[in-house]
Amino acid sequence: MSEEHGHHGTPAPFVFSVAVALMFIGLVMATAGGEDNEGDAGYWFVFILGIAGMITGFMMWIQDYWDQDSEEGVEIVGYHPFWASITTRKFGMWIFLLTEVMVFSTLLSAYVRYRAAIPDYAPNIDCGLEFEECWVPAADIIRSHLIFGVINTFALLLSSLTVVLALYAARNNNSKAATRYLMATFFLGTLFLILKAYEWWEMKNGHFWGDQCSVTAGQDIANKCIAPKYEHGFWLNTSLEGTTFYITTGTHGAHVFVGLLALGYLIAKANKEGYNEKYHDTIELFGLYWHYVDIVWVFVFPFFYLY
Amino acid sequence: MSDEQETGNEHDEHHGEHSFPGWLHSGESPIQGFMKVFAWLIFFTILEVMAILQEFTFGVTMLILFGIAAVKVWFIGSFFMHMVWDPPLVHRTAAVPVFFLIVMFLAIGLTSPGAVDDLRTICGF
Protein backbone atom coordinates (compact mmCIF):
# COMPACT_ATOMS: atom_id res chain seq x y z
CA MET A 1 0.00 0.00 0.00
CA SER A 2 1.35 3.42 -0.97
CA GLU A 3 2.13 5.43 2.17
CA GLU A 4 1.41 8.71 0.44
CA HIS A 5 -1.80 7.66 -1.22
CA GLY A 6 -3.04 4.97 1.11
CA HIS A 7 -6.22 4.65 3.04
CA HIS A 8 -7.58 7.73 4.72
CA GLY A 9 -10.99 9.03 5.73
CA THR A 10 -12.79 11.98 4.19
CA PRO A 11 -15.50 14.29 5.51
CA ALA A 12 -16.83 14.72 1.96
CA PRO A 13 -19.72 12.23 2.25
CA PHE A 14 -20.90 13.93 5.45
CA VAL A 15 -20.70 17.39 3.83
CA PHE A 16 -22.56 16.07 0.78
CA SER A 17 -25.30 14.46 2.90
CA VAL A 18 -25.91 17.60 4.96
CA ALA A 19 -26.03 19.64 1.76
CA VAL A 20 -28.59 17.26 0.23
CA ALA A 21 -30.77 17.63 3.32
CA LEU A 22 -30.51 21.45 3.10
CA MET A 23 -31.36 21.34 -0.58
CA PHE A 24 -34.51 19.29 -0.05
CA ILE A 25 -35.63 21.37 2.94
CA GLY A 26 -35.19 24.53 0.89
CA LEU A 27 -36.99 23.06 -2.12
CA VAL A 28 -39.98 21.80 -0.16
CA MET A 29 -40.39 24.96 1.90
CA ALA A 30 -39.90 27.23 -1.09
CA THR A 31 -42.58 25.46 -3.11
CA ALA A 32 -45.06 24.37 -0.45
CA GLY A 33 -44.08 26.05 2.81
CA GLY A 34 -45.46 29.05 4.60
CA GLU A 35 -48.78 29.46 6.38
CA ASP A 36 -50.75 29.09 3.17
CA ASN A 37 -48.67 26.15 1.88
CA GLU A 38 -48.09 28.07 -1.32
CA GLY A 39 -44.36 28.39 -0.79
CA ASP A 40 -42.03 30.68 1.12
CA ALA A 41 -39.69 32.41 -1.33
CA GLY A 42 -37.03 33.00 1.32
CA TYR A 43 -36.24 29.29 1.34
CA TRP A 44 -34.85 29.47 -2.18
CA PHE A 45 -31.70 30.75 -0.48
CA VAL A 46 -31.55 27.56 1.57
CA PHE A 47 -32.07 25.54 -1.62
CA ILE A 48 -29.20 27.33 -3.39
CA LEU A 49 -27.03 26.90 -0.29
CA GLY A 50 -27.75 23.18 -0.43
CA ILE A 51 -26.84 22.97 -4.12
CA ALA A 52 -23.59 24.83 -3.43
CA GLY A 53 -22.85 22.46 -0.56
CA MET A 54 -23.49 19.45 -2.79
CA ILE A 55 -21.09 20.75 -5.43
CA THR A 56 -18.51 21.49 -2.72
CA GLY A 57 -18.88 18.05 -1.17
CA PHE A 58 -18.62 16.39 -4.57
CA MET A 59 -15.45 18.30 -5.42
CA MET A 60 -13.97 17.49 -2.00
CA TRP A 61 -14.76 13.83 -2.59
CA ILE A 62 -13.04 13.85 -5.97
CA GLN A 63 -10.03 15.68 -4.58
CA ASP A 64 -9.65 13.22 -1.71
CA TYR A 65 -9.79 10.12 -3.91
CA TRP A 66 -8.31 11.32 -7.20
CA ASP A 67 -4.75 10.25 -6.32
CA GLN A 68 -5.63 7.20 -4.25
CA ASP A 69 -3.96 4.16 -5.76
CA SER A 70 -4.48 1.46 -3.18
CA GLU A 71 -7.37 -0.41 -1.63
CA GLU A 72 -9.09 0.85 1.49
CA GLY A 73 -8.38 -2.56 2.98
CA VAL A 74 -10.47 -1.79 6.03
CA GLU A 75 -12.90 -4.56 6.69
CA ILE A 76 -15.48 -5.21 9.32
CA VAL A 77 -13.94 -7.83 11.56
CA GLY A 78 -15.86 -9.09 14.51
CA TYR A 79 -15.57 -11.78 17.09
CA HIS A 80 -18.38 -13.82 15.51
CA PRO A 81 -18.63 -15.26 11.99
CA PHE A 82 -21.90 -13.32 11.55
CA TRP A 83 -19.81 -10.27 10.73
CA ALA A 84 -17.99 -11.90 7.83
CA SER A 85 -15.40 -9.74 6.20
CA ILE A 86 -16.47 -7.18 3.67
CA THR A 87 -15.04 -3.70 3.48
CA THR A 88 -16.71 -0.93 5.45
CA ARG A 89 -17.23 0.98 2.22
CA LYS A 90 -19.09 -1.92 0.64
CA PHE A 91 -21.21 -2.40 3.74
CA GLY A 92 -21.96 1.32 3.76
CA MET A 93 -23.00 1.19 0.12
CA TRP A 94 -25.41 -1.65 0.82
CA ILE A 95 -26.94 0.31 3.72
CA PHE A 96 -27.39 3.26 1.36
CA LEU A 97 -29.05 1.02 -1.24
CA LEU A 98 -31.49 -0.25 1.39
CA THR A 99 -32.63 3.31 2.03
CA GLU A 100 -33.10 3.71 -1.69
CA VAL A 101 -35.22 0.54 -1.72
CA MET A 102 -37.61 2.19 0.74
CA VAL A 103 -37.75 5.39 -1.34
CA PHE A 104 -38.84 3.65 -4.49
CA SER A 105 -41.03 1.18 -2.62
CA THR A 106 -43.15 4.04 -1.32
CA LEU A 107 -43.57 5.44 -4.82
CA LEU A 108 -44.42 2.09 -6.38
CA SER A 109 -46.72 1.00 -3.58
CA ALA A 110 -48.64 4.29 -3.80
CA TYR A 111 -49.11 3.60 -7.50
CA VAL A 112 -50.24 0.02 -6.90
CA ARG A 113 -52.65 1.27 -4.23
CA TYR A 114 -54.27 3.68 -6.67
CA ARG A 115 -54.50 1.07 -9.41
CA ALA A 116 -56.20 -1.32 -6.99
CA ALA A 117 -58.72 1.30 -5.88
CA ILE A 118 -59.65 3.08 -9.09
CA PRO A 119 -61.15 1.03 -11.94
CA ASP A 120 -59.36 1.01 -15.24
CA TYR A 121 -61.13 2.50 -18.20
CA ALA A 122 -63.48 0.09 -19.96
CA PRO A 123 -66.29 0.79 -22.43
CA ASN A 124 -68.90 -0.68 -20.08
CA ILE A 125 -67.91 1.49 -17.10
CA ASP A 126 -69.31 4.94 -16.45
CA CYS A 127 -66.15 6.98 -16.19
CA GLY A 128 -67.74 10.40 -16.04
CA LEU A 129 -67.68 13.14 -18.62
CA GLU A 130 -63.95 13.74 -18.37
CA PHE A 131 -63.12 10.13 -17.55
CA GLU A 132 -62.27 11.39 -14.10
CA GLU A 133 -63.77 8.32 -12.38
CA CYS A 134 -61.50 5.87 -14.20
CA TRP A 135 -57.81 5.22 -14.35
CA VAL A 136 -56.46 5.87 -17.83
CA PRO A 137 -52.86 4.72 -17.40
CA ALA A 138 -49.80 6.27 -18.92
CA ALA A 139 -49.27 2.89 -20.58
CA ASP A 140 -52.26 3.55 -22.84
CA ILE A 141 -50.68 6.80 -23.98
CA ILE A 142 -47.21 5.33 -24.36
CA ARG A 143 -48.32 2.15 -26.13
CA SER A 144 -48.12 3.71 -29.58
CA HIS A 145 -44.52 4.71 -28.84
CA LEU A 146 -43.49 1.81 -26.65
CA ILE A 147 -40.27 1.41 -28.62
CA PHE A 148 -38.67 4.17 -26.55
CA GLY A 149 -39.39 2.36 -23.31
CA VAL A 150 -38.09 -0.90 -24.77
CA ILE A 151 -34.90 0.80 -25.98
CA ASN A 152 -34.46 2.35 -22.53
CA THR A 153 -34.86 -1.07 -20.91
CA PHE A 154 -32.25 -2.61 -23.20
CA ALA A 155 -29.95 0.37 -22.65
CA LEU A 156 -30.03 0.04 -18.88
CA LEU A 157 -29.61 -3.74 -18.94
CA LEU A 158 -26.68 -3.38 -21.33
CA SER A 159 -25.17 -0.63 -19.18
CA SER A 160 -25.28 -2.99 -16.18
CA LEU A 161 -23.28 -5.46 -18.24
CA THR A 162 -20.73 -2.84 -19.34
CA VAL A 163 -20.16 -1.78 -15.73
CA VAL A 164 -19.37 -5.38 -14.79
CA LEU A 165 -17.08 -5.69 -17.80
CA ALA A 166 -15.32 -2.46 -16.75
CA LEU A 167 -14.72 -3.92 -13.30
CA TYR A 168 -13.20 -7.11 -14.71
CA ALA A 169 -11.09 -5.11 -17.16
CA ALA A 170 -9.67 -3.07 -14.27
CA ARG A 171 -9.01 -6.26 -12.29
CA ASN A 172 -7.04 -7.56 -15.28
CA ASN A 173 -4.95 -4.34 -15.45
CA ASN A 174 -6.59 -3.35 -18.75
CA SER A 175 -7.12 0.38 -18.19
CA LYS A 176 -8.05 1.09 -21.79
CA ALA A 177 -10.80 -1.51 -21.80
CA ALA A 178 -12.04 -0.33 -18.40
CA THR A 179 -12.23 3.24 -19.71
CA ARG A 180 -14.05 2.10 -22.83
CA TYR A 181 -16.62 0.09 -20.91
CA LEU A 182 -17.22 2.97 -18.51
CA MET A 183 -17.68 5.32 -21.44
CA ALA A 184 -20.14 2.86 -22.97
CA THR A 185 -22.06 2.89 -19.70
CA PHE A 186 -22.07 6.68 -19.76
CA PHE A 187 -23.34 6.71 -23.33
CA LEU A 188 -26.14 4.27 -22.54
CA GLY A 189 -27.17 6.25 -19.46
CA THR A 190 -27.22 9.46 -21.48
CA LEU A 191 -29.28 7.76 -24.19
CA PHE A 192 -31.73 6.70 -21.50
CA LEU A 193 -32.14 10.26 -20.23
CA ILE A 194 -32.46 11.75 -23.71
CA LEU A 195 -35.19 9.29 -24.68
CA LYS A 196 -36.97 9.87 -21.39
CA ALA A 197 -36.86 13.64 -21.87
CA TYR A 198 -38.27 13.19 -25.37
CA GLU A 199 -41.07 10.97 -24.06
CA TRP A 200 -41.92 13.51 -21.37
CA TRP A 201 -41.99 16.35 -23.89
CA GLU A 202 -44.23 14.47 -26.30
CA MET A 203 -46.65 13.35 -23.59
CA LYS A 204 -46.81 16.77 -21.94
CA ASN A 205 -47.71 18.35 -25.25
CA GLY A 206 -50.16 15.66 -26.29
CA HIS A 207 -48.19 14.40 -29.28
CA PHE A 208 -48.45 10.70 -28.58
CA TRP A 209 -51.95 10.26 -29.89
CA GLY A 210 -53.65 10.86 -33.16
CA ASP A 211 -55.57 13.94 -34.22
CA GLN A 212 -58.36 12.01 -35.84
CA CYS A 213 -60.43 11.59 -32.70
CA SER A 214 -63.07 13.93 -31.43
CA VAL A 215 -63.38 14.17 -27.70
CA THR A 216 -67.11 14.79 -28.00
CA ALA A 217 -67.81 12.07 -30.50
CA GLY A 218 -66.95 9.19 -28.23
CA GLN A 219 -63.72 7.75 -26.96
CA ASP A 220 -61.95 4.61 -27.97
CA ILE A 221 -58.69 4.51 -26.14
CA ALA A 222 -57.85 1.15 -27.68
CA ASN A 223 -57.55 2.98 -31.01
CA LYS A 224 -55.47 5.73 -29.49
CA CYS A 225 -58.31 8.21 -29.14
CA ILE A 226 -57.54 10.15 -26.03
CA ALA A 227 -59.53 10.52 -22.86
CA PRO A 228 -60.98 14.03 -22.37
CA LYS A 229 -58.85 14.68 -19.30
CA TYR A 230 -55.74 14.34 -21.48
CA GLU A 231 -57.05 16.59 -24.23
CA HIS A 232 -54.50 19.28 -23.45
CA GLY A 233 -51.62 16.96 -22.70
CA PHE A 234 -50.50 14.56 -20.00
CA TRP A 235 -48.54 16.24 -17.24
CA LEU A 236 -47.85 16.23 -13.50
CA ASN A 237 -50.98 18.14 -12.56
CA THR A 238 -53.30 16.61 -15.16
CA SER A 239 -54.42 13.71 -13.03
CA LEU A 240 -53.29 11.13 -10.48
CA GLU A 241 -52.04 9.06 -13.39
CA GLY A 242 -49.75 11.90 -14.41
CA THR A 243 -48.55 12.62 -10.90
CA THR A 244 -47.59 9.03 -10.15
CA PHE A 245 -46.00 8.53 -13.55
CA TYR A 246 -43.84 11.65 -13.60
CA ILE A 247 -42.82 11.54 -9.93
CA THR A 248 -41.72 7.91 -10.17
CA THR A 249 -39.97 8.10 -13.53
CA GLY A 250 -38.55 11.52 -12.62
CA THR A 251 -37.06 10.24 -9.38
CA HIS A 252 -35.58 7.33 -11.27
CA GLY A 253 -34.20 9.67 -13.93
CA ALA A 254 -32.62 11.83 -11.23
CA HIS A 255 -30.83 8.76 -9.91
CA VAL A 256 -29.57 7.97 -13.40
CA PHE A 257 -28.32 11.56 -13.72
CA VAL A 258 -26.43 11.39 -10.42
CA GLY A 259 -24.93 8.12 -11.60
CA LEU A 260 -23.71 9.83 -14.76
CA LEU A 261 -21.95 12.48 -12.67
CA ALA A 262 -20.14 9.77 -10.72
CA LEU A 263 -19.35 7.99 -14.00
CA GLY A 264 -17.62 11.13 -15.24
CA TYR A 265 -15.20 10.90 -12.34
CA LEU A 266 -14.66 7.16 -12.88
CA ILE A 267 -13.95 7.63 -16.59
CA ALA A 268 -11.47 10.42 -15.90
CA LYS A 269 -9.64 8.35 -13.33
CA ALA A 270 -9.72 5.15 -15.41
CA ASN A 271 -8.31 7.13 -18.32
CA LYS A 272 -5.25 8.05 -16.26
CA GLU A 273 -4.85 4.36 -15.37
CA GLY A 274 -6.08 4.97 -11.88
CA TYR A 275 -7.72 1.53 -11.59
CA ASN A 276 -5.81 -1.71 -11.70
CA GLU A 277 -5.57 -5.18 -10.29
CA LYS A 278 -4.92 -3.87 -6.81
CA TYR A 279 -7.31 -0.91 -6.82
CA HIS A 280 -10.74 -1.18 -8.38
CA ASP A 281 -13.14 -1.16 -5.45
CA THR A 282 -14.62 2.17 -6.50
CA ILE A 283 -15.84 0.69 -9.77
CA GLU A 284 -17.45 -2.18 -7.88
CA LEU A 285 -19.17 0.18 -5.45
CA PHE A 286 -20.43 2.36 -8.29
CA GLY A 287 -21.57 -0.81 -10.02
CA LEU A 288 -23.73 -1.69 -7.00
CA TYR A 289 -25.46 1.69 -7.28
CA TRP A 290 -25.87 1.40 -11.04
CA HIS A 291 -27.28 -2.13 -10.84
CA TYR A 292 -29.76 -0.90 -8.25
CA VAL A 293 -30.89 1.86 -10.63
CA ASP A 294 -31.39 -0.90 -13.22
CA ILE A 295 -33.37 -2.98 -10.73
CA VAL A 296 -35.71 -0.06 -10.08
CA TRP A 297 -36.32 0.25 -13.82
CA VAL A 298 -37.08 -3.49 -13.92
CA PHE A 299 -40.15 -2.61 -11.83
CA VAL A 300 -40.95 0.80 -13.30
CA PHE A 301 -41.02 -0.39 -16.91
CA PRO A 302 -43.70 -3.08 -16.60
CA PHE A 303 -45.86 -1.20 -14.11
CA PHE A 304 -45.86 2.17 -15.84
CA TYR A 305 -45.15 1.37 -19.48
CA LEU A 306 -46.86 -1.98 -20.00
CA TYR A 307 -49.81 -1.99 -17.66
CA MET B 1 -18.27 -4.76 19.17
CA SER B 2 -16.42 -5.03 15.86
CA ASP B 3 -12.84 -3.99 15.41
CA GLU B 4 -11.50 -2.73 12.13
CA GLN B 5 -8.13 -3.80 10.88
CA GLU B 6 -6.29 -3.69 7.61
CA THR B 7 -6.51 -6.96 5.81
CA GLY B 8 -4.78 -6.52 2.48
CA ASN B 9 -4.12 -10.19 1.87
CA GLU B 10 -7.59 -11.33 2.91
CA HIS B 11 -9.13 -8.71 0.66
CA ASP B 12 -7.13 -9.94 -2.30
CA GLU B 13 -8.30 -13.49 -1.63
CA HIS B 14 -11.89 -12.27 -1.86
CA HIS B 15 -11.33 -11.32 -5.46
CA GLY B 16 -10.51 -14.71 -6.86
CA GLU B 17 -12.10 -15.86 -10.10
CA HIS B 18 -15.84 -16.20 -9.77
CA SER B 19 -17.40 -19.46 -10.88
CA PHE B 20 -20.90 -19.56 -12.30
CA PRO B 21 -23.51 -22.27 -11.77
CA GLY B 22 -23.35 -25.14 -14.22
CA TRP B 23 -26.64 -24.26 -15.94
CA LEU B 24 -25.15 -20.94 -17.08
CA HIS B 25 -22.35 -22.77 -18.89
CA SER B 26 -20.00 -19.84 -18.56
CA GLY B 27 -16.98 -21.71 -19.87
CA GLU B 28 -13.56 -20.59 -18.73
CA SER B 29 -14.15 -16.87 -18.61
CA PRO B 30 -16.49 -15.10 -16.17
CA ILE B 31 -17.17 -12.62 -18.97
CA GLN B 32 -19.05 -15.33 -20.84
CA GLY B 33 -21.11 -15.98 -17.73
CA PHE B 34 -22.10 -12.32 -17.47
CA MET B 35 -22.98 -12.25 -21.17
CA LYS B 36 -25.29 -15.21 -20.65
CA VAL B 37 -26.92 -13.50 -17.66
CA PHE B 38 -27.53 -10.49 -19.91
CA ALA B 39 -29.09 -12.77 -22.53
CA TRP B 40 -31.46 -14.19 -19.91
CA LEU B 41 -32.44 -10.65 -18.87
CA ILE B 42 -33.28 -9.76 -22.46
CA PHE B 43 -35.29 -12.97 -22.81
CA PHE B 44 -37.39 -12.20 -19.73
CA THR B 45 -37.93 -8.61 -20.91
CA ILE B 46 -39.30 -9.88 -24.21
CA LEU B 47 -41.42 -12.37 -22.27
CA GLU B 48 -43.07 -9.68 -20.11
CA VAL B 49 -43.79 -7.46 -23.12
CA MET B 50 -45.48 -10.39 -24.85
CA ALA B 51 -47.33 -11.39 -21.69
CA ILE B 52 -48.83 -7.95 -21.15
CA LEU B 53 -50.28 -7.97 -24.66
CA GLN B 54 -52.56 -10.85 -23.61
CA GLU B 55 -54.63 -8.52 -21.35
CA PHE B 56 -55.22 -10.76 -18.36
CA THR B 57 -57.15 -9.72 -15.23
CA PHE B 58 -55.60 -7.35 -12.69
CA GLY B 59 -54.57 -10.16 -10.34
CA VAL B 60 -53.00 -12.34 -13.03
CA THR B 61 -51.27 -9.33 -14.55
CA MET B 62 -49.75 -8.33 -11.19
CA LEU B 63 -48.62 -11.91 -10.64
CA ILE B 64 -46.92 -12.10 -14.03
CA LEU B 65 -45.28 -8.68 -13.78
CA PHE B 66 -44.07 -9.16 -10.21
CA GLY B 67 -42.92 -12.69 -11.01
CA ILE B 68 -40.86 -11.75 -14.05
CA ALA B 69 -39.50 -8.68 -12.25
CA ALA B 70 -38.45 -10.86 -9.31
CA VAL B 71 -36.60 -13.23 -11.63
CA LYS B 72 -34.80 -10.35 -13.33
CA VAL B 73 -33.93 -8.82 -9.95
CA TRP B 74 -32.51 -12.19 -8.89
CA PHE B 75 -30.28 -12.34 -11.96
CA ILE B 76 -29.03 -8.77 -11.51
CA GLY B 77 -28.56 -9.08 -7.75
CA SER B 78 -26.97 -12.50 -7.78
CA PHE B 79 -24.49 -12.06 -10.62
CA PHE B 80 -24.07 -8.41 -11.58
CA MET B 81 -24.08 -7.30 -7.92
CA HIS B 82 -21.98 -10.35 -7.00
CA MET B 83 -24.28 -11.44 -4.20
CA VAL B 84 -23.85 -15.09 -5.11
CA TRP B 85 -20.13 -14.74 -4.28
CA ASP B 86 -20.45 -12.38 -1.31
CA PRO B 87 -20.44 -13.47 2.33
CA PRO B 88 -23.77 -14.01 4.15
CA LEU B 89 -23.59 -10.55 5.74
CA VAL B 90 -24.48 -9.01 2.39
CA HIS B 91 -27.48 -11.30 1.96
CA ARG B 92 -28.72 -10.54 5.47
CA THR B 93 -28.29 -6.82 4.95
CA ALA B 94 -30.12 -6.92 1.62
CA ALA B 95 -32.95 -8.91 3.22
CA VAL B 96 -33.73 -6.23 5.82
CA PRO B 97 -36.14 -4.19 3.66
CA VAL B 98 -38.10 -7.32 2.78
CA PHE B 99 -39.85 -7.22 6.14
CA PHE B 100 -40.86 -3.60 5.63
CA LEU B 101 -41.97 -4.29 2.07
CA ILE B 102 -44.19 -7.12 3.27
CA VAL B 103 -45.76 -4.84 5.86
CA MET B 104 -46.26 -2.13 3.26
CA PHE B 105 -47.93 -4.33 0.70
CA LEU B 106 -50.06 -5.98 3.37
CA ALA B 107 -51.21 -2.52 4.35
CA ILE B 108 -52.04 -1.76 0.73
CA GLY B 109 -54.08 -4.90 0.45
CA LEU B 110 -55.90 -4.36 3.73
CA THR B 111 -56.81 -0.74 2.96
CA SER B 112 -57.96 -1.26 -0.60
CA PRO B 113 -61.67 -0.75 -1.23
CA GLY B 114 -63.62 -3.91 -0.49
CA ALA B 115 -60.74 -5.45 1.37
CA VAL B 116 -61.44 -7.46 4.47
CA ASP B 117 -60.11 -5.72 7.56
CA ASP B 118 -61.38 -8.08 10.20
CA LEU B 119 -58.54 -10.18 11.58
CA ARG B 120 -60.71 -13.24 12.19
CA THR B 121 -61.90 -13.26 8.59
CA ILE B 122 -58.38 -12.76 7.28
CA CYS B 123 -57.26 -15.76 9.30
CA GLY B 124 -60.05 -17.83 7.83
CA PHE B 125 -62.44 -18.07 10.80
Q: How many helices (H) and strands (E) does chain A have?
A: 8, 1
Say if residue B93's pLDDT is above 90: no
Model pTM? Answer: 0.84
pLDDT, one tens digit per residue, over A155-165 is 999 999 999 99
Q: Predicted confidence band at A10 (pLDDT cuts at 50, 70, 90)?
A: confident
Distance CA A24, CA A31 (A): 11
Q: What share of chain B is helix, strand, coil (3-state, %, to 5)?
A: 70, 5, 25
CA-nearest residue to B7 within chain A is A73
What share of chain A in percent tops pLDDT 90?
A: 47
Q: Is A291 on the interface with B (CB under 8 A)?
A: yes
| pLDDT per position as a tens digit, A199-229 | 999 888 877 765 555 544 555 555 556 677 8
* ipTM of the complex, rounded to two decimals: 0.80
Note whether B105 contacts A109, CB cutoff 8 Å: yes
pLDDT in tens, A47-74: 999 999 999 999 998 888 887 776 555 5
The residue with greater pLDDT, A252 or A3, is A252
* Cβ–Cβ contact B45 with A under 8 A: yes
* % of chain B residues with pLDDT over 90: 22
B81 interfaces chain A, CB cutoff of 8 Å: yes
Q: Kindly tell me if the per-residue pLDDT of B72 is higher than 90.
A: yes
User: For chain A, what is the largest distance between any 2 Cα atoms, rounded to a whole number of angstroms?
Assistant: 77
A102, A109, A278 member nearest B108 (Cβ): A109
How far is B95 from chain A, CA to nearest CA, in Å?
9
Residue B49 in contact with partner chain A when CB distance is under 8 A: yes
Residues A73 and A69: their CA atoms lie apart, in Å, by 12
